[in-house]
């Protein structure tokens, strides 16, 4: 091996030791508020489905693929269901009839 070969090998070893870059390492949390009070905090890296009970009815939320959405609701307008999934900081889903607000916040 020449000197250059040794340098190449050394560089390859160093790169193999560096962990892969994670550009989206900041953990995202969504808060679920009912009537202005936080009833639940969601880790968006998880995968789950659950029900939020409000005075006027209930909404079924799904957390998947780093996003949260309302999959089912018994509110009259269904605006929250049509809103689709949210995943970016500051995005919200509101269910006005049930006074439910879901907001993506930082950690
Ligand atoms: Zn709704």
83 Cα: distance to centroid of ligand 1 (angstroms) = 9
Entry pTM: 0.75
Q: What is the DSSP letter of 18?
A: S
Q: Distances in Å between the alpha carbon of 18 and those of 14, 26, 27, 100, 101?
A: 7, 19, 21, 44, 41
Q: Decide if 5 is inside a domain.
A: no
What pLDDT, on a 0 to 100 scale, did the predictor assign at position 74? 96
CATH code, domain carrying 55: 2.60.320.10
Q: Decide if 44 is inside a domain.
A: yes
CB 49 within 8 Å of CB 61? yes
Counting the structural domains of the chain, the total is 1
pLDDT tens digit at each of 107 positions of the chain = 788 898 888 888 888 887 665 555 568 999 999 999 999 999 999 999 999 999 889 999 999 999 999 999 999 999 999 999 999 999 999 999 999 999 999 87
Q: Decide if 98 is inside a domain.
A: yes
Three-state secondary structure call for residue 88: coil
Expressed as residue numbers, the domain containing 29 is 23-105
Three-state secondary structure call for residue 3: helix
Q: Decide if 31 is inside a domain.
A: yes
103 Cα: distance to centroid of ligand 1 (angstroms) = 14
45 Cα: distance to centroid of ligand 1 (angstroms) = 24
Q: Decide if 61 is inside a domain.
A: yes
User: Strands, DSSP E only, in 5-91?
Assistant: 29-34, 37-43, 48-54, 57-64, 67-73
Q: Decide if 1 is inside a domain.
A: no
Q: Decide if 12 is inside a domain.
A: no
d(CA 58, CA 75) in angstroms, rounded, equals 8
89 Cα: distance to centroid of ligand 1 (angstroms) = 21
106 Cα: distance to centroid of ligand 1 (angstroms) = 24
């Amino acid at each position: 091996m020449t000197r250059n070969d040794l340098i190449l090998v050394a560089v390859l070893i160093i790169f193999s030791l560096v962990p892969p870059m994670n550009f989206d390492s900041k953990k995202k949390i969504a808060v679920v508020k009912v009537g202005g009070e936080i009833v639940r905090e969601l880790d968006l890296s998880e995968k789950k489905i659950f029900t939020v009970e409000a005075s006027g009815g209930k909404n079924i939320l799904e957390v998947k693929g780093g996003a949260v959405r309302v999959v089912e609701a018994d509110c009259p307008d269904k605006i929250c269901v049509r809103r689709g999934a949210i995943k970016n900081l500051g995005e919200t889903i509101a269910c006005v009839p049930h006074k439910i607000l879901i907001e993506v916040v930082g950690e």
